């Protein structure tokens, strides 16, 4: 996938899968905005990859709207969004014996 010049919003971008995703997309030339509740972590990752850090609690509508408004400064048409926040609902996996 060619993401060069595309906008990417990464939730949970200050650590874990979000951080790894942010690094990977930035390395491929995407314009990255990091959404995270941990301001220091988001700022650290943003400075490492040249991204925009947005303090955001994705469970709070006002916080999310404010972060989205800030991210629009990065790109008016944020088309690519990658959700990797630990706040999503757990996934149930089932395995059947062979």
Spell out the per-residue pLDDT of the chain, length 98, in tens: 789 988 899 999 999 999 999 999 999 999 999 999 999 999 999 999 999 999 999 999 999 999 999 998 766 544 444 444 444 444 444 444 44
Inside any domain, residue 94: no
Residue 97 C-alpha from the chain's centroid: 37
Domain of 41: which CATH number?
Answer: 3.40.50.720
pTM reported for the whole predicted model: 0.74
Please give the tally of structural domains in the chain. 1
Residue 90 lies in a domain: no
């Amino acid at each position: 996938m060619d993401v060069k010049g595309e906008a990417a919003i990464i939730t949970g971008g200050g650590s874990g899968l979000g951080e790894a995703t942010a690094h990977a997309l930035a390395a491929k030339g995407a314009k990255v905005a990091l959404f995270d509740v941990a301001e220091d972590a988001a700022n650290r990752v943003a400075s490492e990859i040249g991204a925009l850090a947005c303090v955001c609690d994705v469970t709070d509508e006002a916080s999310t709207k404010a972060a989205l408004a800030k991210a629009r400064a990065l790109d008016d048409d944020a088309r690519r969004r990658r959700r990797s926040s630990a706040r999503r609902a757990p996934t149930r996996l089932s395995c059947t014996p062979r």
